[in-house]
Amino acid sequence: MVTRNRSEGWKHAKISGHANENDITNKINNNNIFRENLEKKLNLKSSIKFAEVGGLNEKNVEDIFGGKTKSKTDLKIILKDKKKINISIKKSLGGQVYLIGVDRFLNGFEIQFKKKIDEDIKRAFKLFFSGANDILQIIDSAVLSKIEEKKKN
């Protein structure tokens, strides 16, 4: 088993992930049987014209907050009817994690779904996931006597 520190693991994942994206793109563009099987699995109404890799060439796009972010498209498939399919490719079933702060999550939710989140729900999120400014005061004021009694028994 290969052991890597966090930095080495990230670097390996990035390099091998982009190599995987290139391999899949080449298979779609150069292997008719692979392409036809993919078209069937995706249940496409139009056949694939070509595919292009996105990962290393990802462009900045506008985000819902008015800023810029990477597009996160690993593979773009262009169909003969000119429709485009953006695909995210994972090398394992373990997936990928991208963490954002509670405030950004709540703000993004409100923008995307055009719904206002009640303040008590925002408070619950901040208490549960982090972000409540008074969390230390709440912990310090918590009555722990019942827990201490159970420890003694």
pTM of the complete model: 0.62
The answer to whether 42 and 85 have CB atoms below 8 angstroms apart is yes
Give the length of the chain.
153
More confident residue, 47 or 70: 47
- The fraction of the chain above a pLDDT of 90, given in percent, is 48
Q: What is the mean pLDDT of residues 104-119?
A: 96
| Residue 120 in tokens | 């008590």
User: Looking at the DSSP assignment, which residues form a beta bridge with residue 70?
Assistant: 60
Kindly indicate the confidence band of residue 153, based on its pLDDT and cuts at 50, 70 and 90: low
Q: What is the distance between the alpha carbons of residues 57 and 18, in angstroms, rounded to a whole number? A: 10
For 132, phi and psi rounded to 5 degrees? -80, 120
